[in-house]
Structure 1
């Protein structure tokens, strides 16, 4: 009986080991293919890993895993569901090229990183995500402005972003932390964060039906940032408000309802004036 259990255990270990995905390496954007086409392998080259030196699109498939580094300028868009281990926009200098400004647009695709997603990881470099629908799920840390004086921006009009931790201008305690900037422009959709952090160079603008949802009661911190002008509503023309729901144990930040009402009232007033002059 003991021998049977041993054989079964070894068989199980063998099955698990045989299904472990092979890390292919870091895919760096080099732009050698069709302009701005994420899914053209000629735009990528692999560094390290099993596929070092090859052209391959960073998108995990059964048995193969990739890291995505969009770090050598330009812009591209994701229109298909895509899974990678980690992602970096405007980060590591590679292949003799200096970090530059890079933009990634998500159009109704479901994008996921198993671990972190970093935007702006080197001085003079910036990473921008334009979110127009779909979802972005980050397993651990989503950083807007991460290290070494980089900057990161998330512009969101629709869809859902979910992150274990959201950093708007990450404070890593380094001497250049004051140069790191992060911006979240949330005019639609929902950002869900297990935890939320922002340093003095962070800025959040919430308008329309956009909302930021954070685990736990963090109304104190949010109200401090609202008070010092780091979290605003409607591009600074209005304010934001934070409320805690004990049932879901979440804090939700939205544009101040009074601000939205004022906008609607002004719109109605303008319509009345227009009609009066037309009579």
Structure 2
């Protein structure tokens, strides 16, 4: 029975390996299915397990990530995690998708962040398809896309010079929590009408600017922060500083709503349609 079970597990692993499409460094979980820094849990661009020492905490990943320069955690066994060291993805992009979780934990004063070694190229952090990234900070990505995924940070998003050229976008039920966004330039954080953003800082400026679509939710640490930073919060191009009616409050969480003038036009238009229908049916 044991031999059959082991053979079945080995066959499943082999089938999984064969199903992986390469062109990047891919998580398989074929090692202990836990440790982010165990090379046996990965396949490189050539379809081989990376050499020892090429995926280590605190050091830039040197395993082969292919022409795409991409690290993917989108399938495979287990949920990768690491404690007490930061995940330096080097000069690559990182995608977490397919319901997977990447869990970074700070211990003993050591970092639990995800960073890139920004070198002037596009380095994209993507969390999508029900996936979750949790940790301390996320640093030096030129673009952050949260598409139906969750990012939960106890620290900040921050960028090196010329980073965040395309800003941060949250869509399709995505959710982001961070202490604050230390973006170098004035790139906006955009939140669509199905998604949410929470910024927990009580001391720093929370973000350069945030653009909320109708229905989007924003949570800040206090009501005072909405007043203090109202010129940074926009709904359809109108700032909260200019028109406080664009936000509906529930404690320290707001929902973006239409301006009263827009609502008036909608009501008037709807009334005109109803009147016309009754007129012509009379």
TM-score, length-scaled by structure 1: 0.53
TM-score, length-scaled by structure 2: 0.53
The offset of 1:110, in angstroms, is: 5.8
Q: Which runs of 4+ in 1 moved over 6 A?
A: 62-65
When residues 116 and 208 of structure 1 are mapped into structure 2, their CA distance, relative to the original with a 3 A threshold, is closer
Report 1:105-254 matches (<5 A).
105=104, 107=106, 108=111, 109=113, 111-112=115-116, 114-120=122-128, 125-133=129-137, 135-139=138-142, 141-145=143-147, 151-162=148-159, 163-164=164-165, 165-169=167-171, 180-186=172-178, 188-192=179-183, 194-209=187-202, 211-214=205-208, 218=209, 221=211, 230-234=217-221, 240-241=225-226, 242-244=229-231
**1:68 has 2:59 as partner:** no
CA distance in 1, matches of 2:63, 2:71: 17
Q: For the Cα contact (< 8 Å) 1:232–1:239, is it kept in 2?
A: no
Q: Which residue of 2 aligns with 1:175?
A: none
- Structure 1 vs Structure 2 CA RMSD: 3.7
The offset of 1:208, in angstroms, is: 4.2
CA distance in 2, matches of 1:63, 1:101: 22
The offset of 1:81, in angstroms, is: 5.3
When residues 62 and 129 of structure 1 are mapped into structure 2, their CA distance, relative to the original with a 3 A threshold, is closer
Gaps of 5+ in 1: 1-23, 91-98, 146-150, 170-179, 246-250, 252-258, 261-279
When residues 64 and 157 of structure 1 are mapped into structure 2, their CA distance, relative to the original with a 3 A threshold, is closer
The offset of 1:63, in angstroms, is: 9.8
More strand by share: 1
Number of equivalences: 183
Q: For the Cα contact (< 8 Å) 2:191–2:197, is it kept in 1?
A: no
